[in-house]
Amino acid sequence: MMNTRCIHPAPVASFLFLLAWLVLFTTGCAKQDQDVVFSSKENVLHLFNWNNYIAPETIGRFEKSCNCKLSQDYYSDNEEMLAKLSAGATGYDLIIPTGNAMDTLIRQGALKPLDKSLLPNLGNINPAYLDTPFDPGNKYSVPYAYTLTLLGFNQEKIKSLGLPTDTWAVIFEPKYLEKIKGRVTVLDSQRELMAAALKYLGYSVNDTDEKHWKEAANLIVRAKPYWAAFSNTSYIKELAVGNLWVAQGYSNDMFQAALDARNTGRKFTIGYSTPKEGAVLALDSMVLHRSGSRPDLAHQFINFMLEGKNSAELTNLIGSGNPNMDAIQYIQAEIANNGAIFPAPEMLNHLEMLRDLDRKQRRVLSRLWTEIKLR
Amino acid sequence: MSRTNIWLWSAAGVIYAFLYVPLVIVVLYSFNDSKLNAEWVGFTLSWYKTLFQNTEMLTAARNSLIIALSASFSATLLGTMAGLAIHRYKLKVLPILVFTPVAMPEILLGVSLLLFFLQVLNLTLGMVSIIIAHTTFCIGFVAIIVRARLQGMDESIFEAARDLGASPWQTFRLVTLPLIMPAVVAGALMSFTLSIDDFVITFFTKGVGEPILPIHIYTMIKVAVTPEVNAISTLLMLLTLVMIIIAARLESHASSSANATSRETG
């Protein structure tokens, strides 16, 4: 009968172990809850942002200036952010969406209009980036930073092969592609790749004429055998290491690749330039979400970011484009003089923002894309 | 070594290499002296230093650990009960209820839980909502494992215990639980792993202002994944390894004491 009372050490030990955790967790939770209750009374600004899209020193200075705390949540994709907000997530004062996502937010009535009397620094923004088709008159949005879709390349290699670097022809024309076969990648994105092809053919990136799309698709199919891959992220590393010679990609990424190639003492340099035919410009803007409880702090933040010194820090950190005219003086000379990050005024007319397609157009494009991928 | 044996060993070697080489590379590259981490540049410990100064990343790791431990604990408790019940009674509805979250696409689960929390429960999203969500999809996994273990068992053991005068609770405590312990531990570990690296459901059910590790890492991909991510992954791997060792210890302990019990009672 002894053994009916004998206690098994294993289950008991594990139960105790888990119980200890439960206690720890509930105390943790209680503390957490207190924090939450407490924070609504406290000065906290909730920002829903891309990761690494504001310099740490900027955050520190803003927190000092407003005597509040900046708390960030991140998304990695506009669609992700839209999905979460559409499902009813609340508590975000500020969001930094890209043009077409902002369009959606405005149409859903998810944003609060700006009070421009609280934004005296608004005049610092270059008028070229104001009054976009997404938000006429900037009722809701203030430009934050932008990215261009352009060409990055291994400068020495391209020079030795005698290829041009200022035209989309490098990724579409077989006469150039022959020399760099298997050393080129393009973006794995229907819209971005089609936009480059449409631009090269002399059309708008938002052209929806099916005949023109067909032409663009044929151009892509003809060039495809020469490309190494469709790549959205890996091209950064491959360029920096020297495996790739030409890539279609985003200006921020090219900046990172160039920086890394330089810091690790490579024997080549990574250059990047905006093709003369024109390119896609993606503008991220600051907007106020309807559910935010601190519009006062949100306006304070926007006005703070409109000071040149503050917005320059992000450009110096990740090489993003800066729509702020006052910021130029604080930006490192080599970035400020880089035509691929700060396009010349005549180039600005060739840059376009992608608009959303309607359902029927999306279907047509998806079908074309499938054909392209299968060929 | 016969010929078949050599083949078997080399096949096993290839499969294990396929599983473990990536992990070894992750660990190695946490010591790499390059921000972009594209190829090996030189040895440095600076990423660990950066990590320990990065309060946001550490808070995210702490939150993820608290969530994983709480969710795996409650899922193990409930999942074990569910597994026992499904095995013992011929129920129609319960198995469907328990196993559905396992088969459901994550994005559906995430969005529907978010709607449920906000519209029905009127809950403020936070750690609690994530723990409830994670528990929900882990219960099914635990129940499946526990039920599978029970199905392979001889019912007469439990009948014998009752014949010898054990109350239902004693039967459970002294016979059933020690016998299913390996499955319970396996279920707990599985829940822990599922919870700590879940992105989709966590993204939807998290509130504002609490960093959670998988989301933090995933959103870094957009800009640049620094070796800091490798560093924190390495530390988490170490922790997981320790947990697995403890679980293995417990299991061998449980089985040996269970054997002892059956010998003594037998």
DSSP helix/strand/coil, A96: coil
Supply the pLDDT for residue B38. Answer: 74
User: Residue A26: pLDDT above 50?
Assistant: no
Q: Which of A4, A8, A92 sits opposite B166 (nearest CB)?
A: A4
What Cα–Cα distance (Å) separates residue A79 from each residue in A293, A366, B46, B128? 24, 17, 35, 25
pLDDT > 90: percent of chain A: 70
Q: Which of B237, B223, B232 is nearest to B60 (CA)?
A: B232
Residue A190 confidence (pLDDT) above 80 = yes
Phi-psi region of A93 (alpha: psi -120 to 50; beta: other; left: phi over 0): alpha
B204 φ, ψ to 5°? -80, -35
Mean pLDDT over each residue of chain A, to the nearest integer? 87
Q: pLDDT below 70 — which residues of chain B?
A: 1, 222-224, 251, 254-266
Chain B interface includes A28 (CB < 8 A): yes
Q: Are A196 and A276 in contact (CB under 8 A)?
A: no
Q: Region A333-344: what's the mean pLDDT?
A: 91
Minimal Cβ distance to B209: which of A24, A44, A238: A44
Give, for A250, the enclosing helix (H) or strand (E).
strand A246-250
From the list A46, A87, A91, the residue facing B204 with the nearest CB is: A87
Angle at A325 between CA A324 and CA A329, to 5 degrees: 110
Cα gap B204→A232, rounded to integer Å: 25
For residue A14, which residues of chain B lie inside 8 Å, CB to CB?
181, 185, 250
Q: At what angle do helices B127-151 and B55-88 cross, to 10 degrees?
A: 40
In the block, which residue shows the tokens 């529907």?
B112
CB contact under 8 A, B118 and A6: no
Query: Is the pLDDT at A5 greater than 70, yes or no?
Result: no
Instruction: Give the Cα separation of A144 and A302 in Å (integer).
Output: 9
The mean per-residue pLDDT over the stretch A256-276 comes to 91
Residue A198, pLDDT > 70, answer: yes
Q: List residues bridging with A185 in a β-sheet.
A: A229, A247
Of A22-31, A44-53, A308-317, B26-35, minimum mean pLDDT range: A22-31
For residue B196, give both structure tokens.
């700590």
- Asked if A305 contacts A144 with a C-beta cutoff of 8 angstroms, the reply is yes
Summarised one tens digit per residue, pLDDT across range A284-302 is 999 999 999 999 999 999 9
Mutate to test the interface with A, among B36, B67, B116, B230 (most CBs of A within 10 A): B36
Give the chain A residue whose CA is nearest to the CA of B218: A76
Q: Identity (one letter) of the amino acid at A215?
A: E
Residue whose C-alpha is closest to residue B149's, from B79, B100, B98: B79
Q: Which of A45-49, A142-146, B205-209 has the lowest mean pLDDT?
A: B205-209
**A375 by DSSP, 3-state: which?**
coil
Alpha carbons A7 and A23: distance in angstroms, whole number: 23
Q: What is the Cα Rg of chain A in Å? A: 25
Mean per-residue pLDDT, A70-98: 90
B contacts of A29 (beta carbons < 8 Å): 127-128
Please enumerate in sequence order all residues whose Cβ is within 8 A of that of A14, keeping only pairs 6 or more positions apart, or say none: B181, B185, B250
Please return the burial class of B197, using the count of CB atoms within 10 Å of its CB with bins 0-12, 13-18 and 19+. middle
Of the given ranges (A23-37, A54-68, A234-248, B248-262), which has the lowest mean pLDDT?
A23-37
Take residue A311 and report the two structure tokens written for it: 């917005």
pLDDT at A30: 42
Supply the DSSP symbol for A120: G
* Cross-chain Cβ contact B222/A238 below 8 Å: no
| Mutation for A interface: B173, B191, B199, B223, most A CBs within 10 A | B223
Tell me whether B61 touches chain A (CB under 8 Å).
no
B41 contact residues in A (CB cutoff 8 A): 264
A vs B: CB pairs below 8 A:
147
A127, two tokens: 């008028």
pLDDT, mean of residues A53-62:
93
Q: How confident is the model at residue A216 (pLDDT cuts 50, 70, 90)?
A: very high
Question: What are A360-370's pLDDT values in tens digits?
Answer: 999 999 999 99
Which amino acid does the sequence have at A32?
A: Q
If contacts are CB pairs under 8 Å, which of residues 66-105 in chain B contact chain A?
A: 66, 69-70, 73, 76
Lowest mean pLDDT among A30-44, A144-158, A312-326, B78-92: A30-44
**Cα–chain center distance at A118:** 27
Residue A113 pLDDT > 70: yes
Closest-CA distance, A175 to chain B, in angstroms, reads 31
Res. A3: pLDDT tops 50? no
